[in-house]
């Protein structure tokens, strides 16, 4: 007697192989049998010839804090995501320096907290270089001493011991951005004995994306670790349809030469991050309190403003505020910087500085900087997988969060696969299941096979629609019929069932 039987499904197994028709039986959270099955089950579902795929794996997530605030993870579950890897872009919830709000003393403490919160998705972690750097030496811009570097390496080893999958850097975000290439090689070496990988939000994704790719490849090569280029894109308009041909050629050459390089990508023309990313890096030396002090100093503020006016000339209109934390600034969410500046009676650079001060740096932006041709060029590469760069959010999340939080995976399937026909359905599913599982060395998830955990998504391919958009991001995707996490039904026809069957994933040792 099985727990669950899903009959008459077209199985897209996650390996990239053509679909086949079968029944699937689940017992104890795992796939117990596949084929023309005759046994009995406590529950039987007729798949009505729809596609059944492995649950989607979001290898680039920022659900660190949000998985505790929102363990039901509606934004993930309702698009078919059953596993996510957080701790990206140099920022991980643990370890955190003593006294940091929302921080955990170590990766182990954070993972235990996630386990106690019983999330609806499975969650694994990377350890953030910015996080360990802050622990070892604070938020200063100086080079680490040998002892500080040693401390960083020890903290990374500690995180790897309790199951982190690798290390991430965020080379536009202080303090991770203060590291030079040599420091990054040294910290990346610390994950090599564990079989971990180096994921990087590279030092530049605009004018300097080619140089940044060169640096990323050098770091991985010299540290002897696999490389994951995070959310690969080109955000500098004059280099559209040029730079990404160079970066992908570099990656392909590195792969031919034996370096294991993969990329992830989210399928939108706009990126999303903190608004203060537009402020020059020197102003962050010493951390956020020091930044806010500088912005309040008339002389330093003028320098910040002048530098931003030069760097942002002609592209203020691409920037939108996505969320603010104060009540009086709620009107800004979803509006462009020029629109907000006009209402404030200021120039855009001054308005941006005043918003960052008023919100204590807790303000988000959405920035339109990519072109469709580049997105499709990158996406069509076999070593590029899907990753949202988003996180766990409820359907009533305030503000205008980036729709990637809610719609990334269905957008790849519905728009790029079904409508644009960039690749087959089997390839699209592979990019969000078997491929990230291979990168993560997950041996029990990411494909449909007997003995694998029953993370499953049943969907109506023709009905799939990435309804979440920039105007109304907080929505369930259409066409996702059922989502199972570890064999437990967690979403049905766009509704979360309330189930919280996710597990904490730890890198297999050895």
Shortest Å, Cβ 494 to Zn ion: 29
**Which span sits near Zn ion by CB under 5 A: 29-37, 84-92, 179-187, 293-301?**
84-92
Instruction: Count how many Cα atoms sit within 13 Å of the Cα of residue 375 in the half-sphere of its side chain.
Output: 18
Cα gap 86→48, rounded to integer Å: 35
Q: Quick one: which segment of 88-96, 149-157, 260-268, 479-487 binds Zn ion (CB under 5 A)?
A: 88-96
Q: Applying CB under 5 A, which part among 6-14, 50-58, 120-128, 198-206 lies near Zn ion?
A: 198-206
Which helix (DSSP H) or strand (DSSP E) does residue 228 occupy? Answer: strand 227-229
State the Cα–Cα distance between residues 95 and 133, nearest whole angstrom. Answer: 10
Minimum distance of Zn ion from residue 170's CB (angstroms)? 6
Nearer to Zn ion, 266 or 484 (CB): 266
In the bound state with Zn ion, the residue whose beta carbon lies nearer, of 89 and 341, is 89
Residues 6+ apart with CB under 8 A from 174: 130, 139, 141, 281, 284, 285, 287
Shortest Cβ distance from residue 349 to Zn ion (Å)?
A: 24
The Cα–Cα gap between 467 and 299 comes to 47
Number of H helices, E strands in the chain: 16, 21
Nearer to Zn ion by Cβ, of 201 and 507: the residue is: 201
Nearer to Zn ion, 89 or 425 (CB): 89
* Beta carbon nearer to Zn ion, 230 or 486: 230
The stretch among 18-26, 82-90, 233-241, 433-441 that binds Zn ion (CB under 5 A) is 82-90
Task: Give the separation between CA 242 and CA 88, rounded to whole angstroms.
Answer: 27
- Closest CB to Zn ion among 387 and 487? 387
Strands 20-27 and 2-11: antiparallel
> Of the two residues 89 and 452, which places its CB atom closer to Zn ion in the complex?
89
Size of the site for Zn ion (CB under 5 A): 2
Instruction: In angstroms, give the least distance from the CB of 326 to Zn ion.
Output: 25
**Residue 115, CA distances (Å) to 112, 120, 163, 371 in order:** 5, 11, 13, 40
Give yes or no for a contact between 428 and 417, defined as CB atoms under 8 angstroms apart.
Answer: yes
Q: Which stretch binds Zn ion (CB under 5 A): 38-46, 193-201, 335-343, 451-459?
A: 193-201
Nearer to Zn ion, 384 or 503 (CB): 384
- CB of 25 vs Zn ion, minimal distance in Å: 40
Q: Which residues contact 215 (CB under 8 A, 6 or more apart)?
A: 181, 184, 202, 203
Show contacts with Zn ion in window 261-320 (CB under 5 A).
none
Task: Output the six-digit token pair for 499.
Answer: 């189930």
Could you tell me the end-to-end alpha-carbon distance of the chain, in angstroms, rounded to an integer?
36
In this chain, which of 89, 432, 435, 505 binds Zn ion, going by CB under 5 A? Answer: 89
In contact, 46 and 21? CB cutoff 8 Å: no
Q: Is 201 near Zn ion (CB under 5 A)?
A: yes
Q: CA–CA separation, 447 vs 16, rounded Å?
A: 10
Stretch that binds Zn ion, among 195-203, 305-313, 375-383, 441-449 (CB under 5 A): 195-203
What phi and psi values does residue 65 have, to the nearest 5 degrees? -80, -35
Write down the least CB distance from residue 3 to Zn ion, Å.
Answer: 39
| Under rule CB under 5 A, residue 496 binds Zn ion | no
Which window, 85-93, 284-292, 325-333, 343-351, contacts Zn ion (CB under 5 A)?
85-93
Question: Token pair 């320096």 is at which residue?
Answer: 97
CB closer to Zn ion out of 129 and 201: 201
Q: How far is the CB of 157 from Zn ion (least distance, A)?
A: 24
CB of 386 to Zn ion, least distance (A): 15
d(CA 190, CA 158): 10
Taking the least distance from each CB to Zn ion, the nearer of 26 and 89 is: 89
Task: Name the residue nearer to Zn ion (CB basis): 10 or 201.
Answer: 201
> Would you say 369 or 434 has its CB closer to Zn ion?
369
| 85 lies in the binding site for Zn ion (CB under 5 A) | no
Q: Least separation, in Å, of the C-beta of 60 and Zn ion?
A: 8
Cα–Cα distance measured from residue 496 to residue 186, given in angstroms and rounded to the nearest whole number: 44
Map residues 120-159 to x or -, x wherever contact with Zn ion holds by CB under 5 A: ----------------------------------------
CB of residue 200 vs Zn ion: minimum separation in angstroms? 9
CB of 173 to Zn ion, least distance (A): 8
Distances (CA, A) of 330 to 273, 322, 323, 358: 18, 10, 8, 12
Give Cβ neighbours of residue 429 (< 8 Å, ≥ 6 apart): 12, 14, 16, 53, 54, 413
As measured in angstroms, the least distance from the Cβ of 320 to Zn ion is: 18
Q: Which positions touch Zn ion (CB under 5 A)?
A: 89, 201
């Amino acid at each position: 007697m099985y727990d669950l039987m899903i009959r008459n499904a077209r199985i897209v197994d996650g390996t990239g192989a053509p679909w086949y028709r079968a029944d699937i039986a689940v017992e104890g959270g795992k796939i117990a049998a596949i084929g023309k099955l005759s046994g009995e089950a406590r529950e039987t579902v007729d798949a009505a010839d729809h596609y059944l795929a492995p649950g989607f794996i979001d290898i680039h997530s920022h659900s660190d804090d949000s998985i505790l605030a929102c363990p039901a993870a509606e934004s993930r579950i309702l698009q078919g995501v059953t596993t996510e890897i957080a701790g990206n872009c140099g920022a991980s919830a643990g370890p955190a320096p003593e006294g940091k709000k929302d921080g955990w003393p170590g990766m182990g403490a954070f993972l235990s907290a996630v386990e106690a919160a019983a999330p609806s998705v499975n969650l694994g972690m990377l350890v953030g270089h910015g996080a360990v750097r802050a622990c070892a030496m604070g938020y200063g811009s100086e080079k680490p001493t040998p002892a500080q570097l040693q401390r960083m390496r020890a903290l990374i080893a500690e995180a790897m011991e309790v199951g982190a999958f690798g290390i991430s850097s965020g080379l536009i975000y202080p303090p991770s951005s203060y590291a030079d290439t040599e420091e990054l090689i040294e910290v990346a070496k610390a994950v090599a004995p564990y079989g971990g990988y180096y994921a990087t939000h590279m030092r530049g994704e605009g004018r300097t994306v080619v140089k940044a790719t060169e640096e990323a490849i050098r770091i991985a090569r010299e540290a002897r670790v696999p490389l994951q280029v995070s959310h690969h894109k080109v955000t500098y308009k004059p280099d559209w349809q040029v730079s990404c041909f160079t970066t992908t050629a570099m990656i392909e050459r590195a792969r031919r030469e034996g370096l294991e390089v993969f990329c992830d990508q989210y399928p939108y023309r706009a990126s999303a991050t903190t608004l203060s990313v537009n402020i020059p890096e020197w102003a962050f030396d010493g951390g956020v309190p020091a930044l806010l002090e500088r912005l309040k100093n008339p002389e330093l503020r003028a320098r910040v403003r002048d530098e931003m006016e030069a760097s942002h000339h002609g592209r203020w209109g691409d920037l939108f505020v996505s969320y603010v934390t104060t009540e009086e600034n709620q009107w800004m969410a979803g509006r462009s910087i020029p629109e907000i500046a006009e209402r404030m009676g200021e120039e855009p650079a001054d308005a941006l500085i005043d918003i960052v001060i008023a919100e204590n740096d807790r303000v988000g932006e959405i920035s339109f900087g990519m072109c469709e041709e580049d997105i499709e060029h990158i996406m069509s590469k076999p070593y590029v997988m899907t990753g949202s760069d988003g996180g766990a959010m409820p359907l009533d999340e305030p503000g205008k969060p980036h729709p990637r939080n809610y719609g990334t995976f269905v957008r790849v399937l519905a728009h790029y696969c079904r409508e644009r026909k960039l690749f087959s359905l089997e390839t699209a599913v592979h990019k969000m299941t078997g491929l990230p599982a291979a990168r993560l060395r997950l041996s029990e998830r990411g494909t449909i096979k007997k003995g694998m955990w029953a993370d499953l998504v049943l969907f109506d391919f023709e009905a799939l629609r990435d309804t979440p958009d920039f105007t109304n991001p907080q929505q369930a995707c259409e066409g996702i019929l059922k989502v199972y996490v570890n064999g437990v039904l967690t979403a049905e026809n766009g509704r979360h069932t309330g189930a919280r069957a996710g597990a904490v994933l730890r890198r297999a040792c050895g």
